[in-house]
Chain A
Amino acid sequence: MPEEELILQFREKNIKAYEKLYNKYCDSISGVINNIVKNDDVAQEITQDVFIKAWNKAGTYSPKKGRLFTWLLNIARNAAIDYTRSKKFKQSKQNLNADFFVDILESSSSLDSSTNTIGLKEFVTKLGDTCKSVIELLYFKGFTQKEASEELGIPLGKIKTRNRTCIGELRSMLSI
């Protein structure tokens, strides 16, 4: 079933359709959350909350607002950032070591040895520092172009093309 149809059914609160979307997106959503909260267990909890929340407000999603994945990303980042502002997070903060998604990827103990895993590890190892930061801020942290431009000291007009080059490298490595 094409995704467009699944999304339509999701908006009508069809659980079967939602399960398919969940299976497609939950790892990515969890990855983004984990990158912010830096804790596997917490990430798991927040991921579940995010998908429950998304279900509850299914009616408010419209493709006009953007891709479903992007919509989920937003809910996930907000939930994760909310958590980082909580007392609980501040207490556990000292145990953190990984700062960027690249650190999580590089230290991944995942037994999945598919070409993509190896490829991704290689990709992030070779990735330039600027690309690492741009991807981190735009996709994992949800920065706007302006915020990313200010954070990285890259002119606003260049964020778009710089990011396209970085994603281009990723795609060629993944052959997509």
Chain B
Amino acid sequence: MNIKEYITSGILELYIAGSLSQEENEEVHNAISENQELLAEVKSIENAILQLTAFAKKDATYSFNDIKSKLKGNNPKVISLSKPKASLKTYVSWAAAIMFGTTLILSVLQNNQLKEQLASRNIEKETLEAQIDSASTSLAAAEKLIEVFRDKDIVSVSLDGQTVSPTSYAKVYWDKKTNSIYLDAKGLPEPPKGKVYQVWSLKLSPLTPTSLGTLNSFIADANKIFTITNANESEAFGITLEPTGGNLTPTLEQLYTLGTVQS
């Protein structure tokens, strides 16, 4: 190694500053422990920096006695003095750590709980929305019915119970403008299995029945009001009980209700 070049490279100055890498530090350490000239140079640089930095100290004065009592070492008194302080600090640290940990766990738990609450609130909200939705649909339907009942152009026909079922009744609201009838069948009993109600439009002389269709959704329908298209010049309406699928002609023995149109 060329000692002069090594010195003039400026590496020793940086060695004192502490701005070399771990590797470079070891390299310089090995070099100065083998070469007295390098060691002397390092000491000179260090001395210069020591003096320079010391002058940035300003007015504070230092005495080793200020810290002596805080050093744990050969003096047993020092140990007994400093120990409680250190252990108190340790206790405080542990207490703080435990508190922090507990707080953390609690907040995680709380967070999960809140998430669950939020999820169940969302489900409740959806249910309510569905209820509101169906309620407003029902409301719209009810409003439509009221409209129908109040319309002066709509013909109302009462269908009374017949021999097979004297207590049955039904009502037909016939809107001739739209060729449709609203059948209120709430007064009919639930049809037995395999049977279905069939609605007929009738001409009286001669008696000519025309099928308006079967009430397939009778059981499922909550308000038992059915909207049916009717383009016939009806003189009466009748409802018979027929086998599922309906019949071509009404089975008059199973005529539940019948009503004539008042003109």
A residues near B, CB below 8 A?
Answer: 13-15, 18-19, 22-32, 34-35, 40-41, 43-44, 47-48, 51-52, 55-56, 63-67, 69-71, 73-74, 101, 104-105, 108-110, 116-117, 120, 135, 138-140, 142-145, 148, 160-164, 167, 170-171, 174, 176
Contact = CB atoms under 8 A, between A and B. Distances in A.
Given A40-B58, A160-B10, A164-B8, A64 B29 contact: yes
A138 B14 contact: yes
Nearest to B66: A48
A29 to B, nearest CB: 8
A15 B73 contact: yes
18 contacts: A13-B74, A27-B54, A28-B53, A30-B62, A48-B66, A66-B18, A66-B29, A109-B59, A120-B51, A139-B52, A143-B19, A145-B14, A160-B13, A161-B8, A163-B13, A163-B17, A164-B8, A171-B48
Nearest to A49: B67
Nearest to B74: A15
A32 to B, nearest CB: 5
Given A13-B74, A18-B71, A164-B8, A73 B13 contact: no
Given A52-B70, A70-B18, A167-B49, 20 more contacts: A13-B74, A15-B71, A19-B68, A31-B56, A31-B57, A34-B56, A43-B57, A43-B60, A47-B60, A47-B62, A48-B67, A64-B25, A67-B42, A120-B51, A120-B55, A139-B49, A160-B11, A161-B8, A161-B9, A164-B8
Q: A-side binding surface: helix, strand, loop or mixed? A: helix
Nearest to B58: A40
Contact of A28 (B8, B29, B50): B50
A51 B67 contact: yes
A71 B67 CA distance: 19
Contacts of B73: 13-15, 18, 55
Q: B-side binding surface: helix, strand, loop or mixed? A: helix
Nearest to A164: B10
A70 B15 contact: yes
Given A40-B60, A64-B26, A163-B14, A52 B71 contact: yes
Contacts of A66: 15, 18, 20, 25, 29
Given A31-B55, A117-B55, A44 B62 contact: yes
B75 interface: yes
Nearest to A121: B55
Nearest to B8: A164
Counting chain B residues whose Cβ lies within 8 A of the other chain, the interface size class is 35 or more
B75 A176 contact: no
B47 interface: yes
Contacts, number: 173
Interface string B19-40: 1101001100100000000000
Given A31-B57, A44-B60, A142-B19, A135 B14 contact: no
B18 A108 contact: no
Contacts of A116: 51
Contacts of A64: 25-26, 29
B18 A40 contact: no
B14 to A, nearest CB: 6
A116 B59 CA distance: 16
Interface in B140-192: none
A35 B59 CA distance: 13
A101 B10 CA distance: 22
A65 B25 contact: yes
B46 interface: yes
Contact of B59 (A25, A40, A117): A40
